[in-house]
Amino acid sequence: MSDKYHLDFPVSWDELHRNARALAWRLAEAGPFKGIVAITRGGLVPAAIIARELEIRLIDTACVSSYEHKDLGESLILKEVVATDDGEGWLIIDDLVDTGTTARVVREMLPKAHFATVYAKPAGRPMVDSFITEVSQDTWILFPWDVEPAYAKPIKDRRK
Helices (H) and strands (E) in the chain, counts: 4, 8
Please pick, among 95, 129, 146, 157, the residue that the annotation labels catalytic.
Answer: 95
98 tagged catalytic: yes
Q: What digits encode the pLDDT tens for the residues 6-58?
A: 888 999 999 999 999 999 999 999 989 999 999 999 999 999 999 999 999 99
Catalytic pick among 3, 71, 86, 98? 98
Write the pLDDT tens digit of every residue in 60-93: 999 887 765 555 556 777 777 876 788 999 999 9
Angstrom distances, CA of residue 59 to CA of 50, 62, 69, 98, 135: 11, 10, 26, 23, 28
Question: Which residue in 138, 135, 80, 73 sits closest to 101, CA to CA?
Answer: 73
**Is 95 marked active-site?**
yes
Residue 7, number of CB atoms within 10 A of its CB:
14
pLDDT, tens digit, 9 for 90 and up, residues 99-127? 999 999 999 999 999 999 999 999 999 99
Cβ neighbours, 10 Å, residue 114: 19
pLDDT at 1 over 60: no
pTM of the model: 0.84
Round to whole Å and give the CA distance between 159 and 155: 7
Q: Which residues contact 83 (CB under 8 A, 6 or more apart)?
A: 35, 37, 58, 60, 90
Q: Where are the domains of the chain?
A: 12-134
Which CATH class name applies to 12-134? alpha beta
Q: Which of 71, 94, 129, 146 is catalytic?
A: 94
% residues pLDDT > 90 (the chain):
66
Sorted by sequence, the CB contacts under 8 Å of residue 148 that are 6+ apart come out as: none
Contacts by 147-156 with C-beta closer than 8 Å and gap 24+?
147/10
